[in-house]
Amino acid sequence: MSDPIRRSVGRPRFWERYPLDELSKAEWEALCDGCGKCCLNKLEDEDTGEVALTRVACRLFDDATCRCAQYDIRKQFVPECVVLTPKTLPDAAYWMPRTCAYRLLHEGKPLYDWHPLISGDPQSVHDAGVSAQHMTVPEFEVPEEDWEDHIIEEPT
Ligand code: SF4
Ligand code: SF4
Phi, psi of 67, deg, nearest 5: -125, 165
Is the pLDDT reported for residue 8 higher than 90? no
Residue 9 lies in a domain: no
Residue 120: give the domain boundaries. 14-150
Q: How many structural domains comprise the chain?
A: 1
Of 120, 101, 103, the C-alpha closest to 111 is 101
Residue 75 lies in a domain: yes
pLDDT at 155: 74
Q: What residues pair up with 151 in beta bridges, in sequence order?
A: 54
Residue 25 lies in a domain: yes
pLDDT at 111: 98
**What percentage of the chain reaches a pLDDT higher than 70?**
99
- What is the atom index within ligand 2 of the atom nearest the CA of 61? 7
E strand or H helix at 87: none
Residue 155 lies in a domain: no
pLDDT at 1: 65
Task: State the average pLDDT for the chain.
Answer: 94
Is the pLDDT reported for residue 29 higher than 90? yes
In this structure, are residues 112 and 34 in contact, taking their beta carbons and an 8 Å threshold? no
CA of 84 to the centre of ligand 1 (A): 10
CA of 39 to the centre of ligand 1 (A): 8
Is the pLDDT reported for residue 9 higher than 90? no
- Give, as one character, the DSSP assignment of residue 129: T
Residue 73 lies in a domain: yes
- The model's confidence at residue 6, banded by pLDDT at 50, 70 and 90, is confident
- Ligand 2, atom 5: closest residue by C-alpha: 39
- The model's confidence at residue 156, banded by pLDDT at 50, 70 and 90, is low
Residue 140 lies in a domain: yes
Characterize the bridge pairing of strands 67-68 and 137-138. Answer: unpaired
* 55-112 pLDDT tens trace: 999 999 999 999 999 999 999 999 999 999 999 999 999 999 999 999 999 999 999 9
Residue 4 lies in a domain: no
Alpha-carbon distance of 1 to 66, in angstroms, equals 13
Classify burial at 20, counting beta carbons within 10 Å of its beta carbon; exposed 0-12, middle 13-18, buried 19 or more: middle
CA of 77 to the centre of ligand 2 (A): 9
Is the pLDDT reported for residue 5 higher than 80? yes
Residue 128 lies in a domain: yes
